[in-house]
């Protein structure tokens, strides 16, 4: 099991990735052809980032469930963004080649280093029970990637992360007091579309559930964090670089 070291930065938060000794991947297939064809644009003015190492990882503390949980019905919208403009309020920036940029139509995460995570939160949502949906596409790089959403984000040391990879790996993490705990990390028979795939994550009560293209994948139980912001996250394992593009982000209350 590899240790996790979290690195918090000023605007763009960057950290060493959470490998935890991944299960052996199935036979790799060719990455899907990208369909969110957006010509690169100049990146916005970016902050200088000063990373500070913190603590190491803890062992899993909860058992995952494969019992089907219906996708919650949609209530009031808390925040949504199609990234058509750069004024959505997301924290963006660049550090050592790793970057998050609004490409006027998609939010693009580019991770150049091995075993790194980068993320950005909305700074506009503070919720307990929330459902997050987003379209995600592997734009460039290998299949052993890592991308998804965050919920109950309080700061760089306290949040939940739910992510998938194009080789089928699913990972659910919690960070509490800068200490990372793997709640779930397994290979799954994910059915990925050739174009963007829709990820949905519900954080309701003590249950965190992942859906891919509106189909339930897995859920875990944890009561460490009760509320916070929501956001997006992407990273690498041992085979960088990787570029992920997100579109049509939405956070809403379940009912």
Three-state SS sequence of 148-201 = EEEEEEEECCEEEEEEECCCCEEEEEEEECCEEEEEEEEECCCCCCCCCEEEEE
Q: What is the pLDDT of residue 45?
A: 32
Q: Angle at CA 25, nearest 5°, toward 18 and 181?
A: 25
Please name the residue that has the structure tokens 């992510």. 163
Q: What is the pLDDT of residue 65?
A: 80
Q: Which homologous superfamily does the CATH classification assign to the domain defined by 7-21+39-52+72-254?
A: Exo-inulinase; domain 1 (2.60.120.560)
Given a cut of 60, is residue 4 above it in pLDDT? no
Instruction: Please tell me the distance from the alpha carbon of residue 29 to that of residue 8, in angstroms, as a whole number.
Output: 34
What are the pLDDT digits (tens) for 27-80?
333 333 333 333 333 333 333 222 323 333 444 556 788 889 999 999 999 999
Q: What is the pLDDT of residue 66?
A: 80
What are the pLDDT digits (tens) for 149-177?
999 999 999 999 999 999 999 999 999 99
Instruction: Please tell me the distance from the alpha carbon of residue 44 to that of residue 67, in angstroms, as a whole number.
Output: 44
CA 72 to chain centre: 20
Q: What is the pLDDT of residue 104?
A: 84
Fill in the DSSP letter of residue 23: P
Residue 3 — pLDDT band, cuts 50, 70, 90? very low
Instruction: Please tell me the distance from the alpha carbon of residue 1 to that of residue 6, in angstroms, as a whole number.
Output: 16
Instruction: Please tell me the distance from the alpha carbon of residue 152 to that of residue 174, in angstroms, as a whole number.
Output: 10
Q: What is the pLDDT of residue 86?
A: 85
Q: What is the pLDDT of residue 62?
A: 60
What are the pLDDT digits (tens) for 95-145?
889 999 999 899 999 999 999 999 999 999 999 999 999 999 999 999 999
Residue 22 — pLDDT band, cuts 50, 70, 90? low
CB 226 within 8 A of CB 128: yes
Question: Is the four-CA dihedral 170, 223, 232, 57 of positive or negative sign?
Answer: negative
Name which residue leads in pLDDT, 244 or 16. 244
pTM of structure: 0.79
Q: For the CA atoms of 115, 120, 125, 130, what is the dihedral angle to 10 degrees?
A: -30
What are the pLDDT digits (tens) for 223-236?
999 999 999 999 99
Q: Which of 16-20, 60-64, 92-96, 203-207 has the highest mean pLDDT?
A: 203-207
Mean pLDDT of the chain: 81
């Amino acid at each position: 099991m590899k240790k996790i070291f979290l690195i918090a930065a000023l605007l763009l938060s960057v950290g060493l990735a959470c490998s935890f000794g991944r299960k052996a991947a199935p036979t790799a297939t060719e990455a899907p052809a990208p369909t969110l064809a957006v010509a690169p644009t100049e990146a916005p003015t970016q902050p200088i980032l000063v990373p500070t190492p913190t603590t190491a990882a803890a062992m899993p503390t909860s058992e995952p469930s494969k019992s089907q949980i219906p996708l919650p019905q949609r209530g009031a919208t808390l925040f949504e963004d199609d990234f058509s403009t750069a004024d959505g309020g997301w924290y963006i920036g660049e550090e050592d080649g790793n970057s998050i940029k609004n490409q006027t139509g998609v939010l693009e995460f580019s991770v150049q280093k091995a075993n790194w995570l980068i993320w950005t939160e909305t700074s506009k949502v503070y919720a307990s029970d929330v459902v997050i949906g987003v379209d995600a596409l592997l734009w460039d790089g290998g299949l052993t990637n890592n991308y998804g959403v965050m919920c109950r984000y309080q700061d760089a040391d306290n949040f939940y992360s739910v992510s998938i990879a194009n080789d089928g790996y699913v990972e659910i993490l919690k960070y509490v007091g800068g200490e990372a705990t793997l709640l779930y990390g397994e290979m799954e028979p994910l059915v990925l579309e050739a174009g963007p795939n829709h990820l949905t994550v519900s954080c309701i009560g003590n249950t965190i559930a992942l859906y891919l293209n509106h189909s339930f994948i897995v859920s875990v139980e944890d009561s460490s964090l009760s509320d916070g912001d929501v956001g997006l996250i992407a990273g690498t394992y041992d085979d960088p670089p990787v570029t992920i593009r997100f579109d049509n982000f939405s956070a809403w209350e379940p009912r």
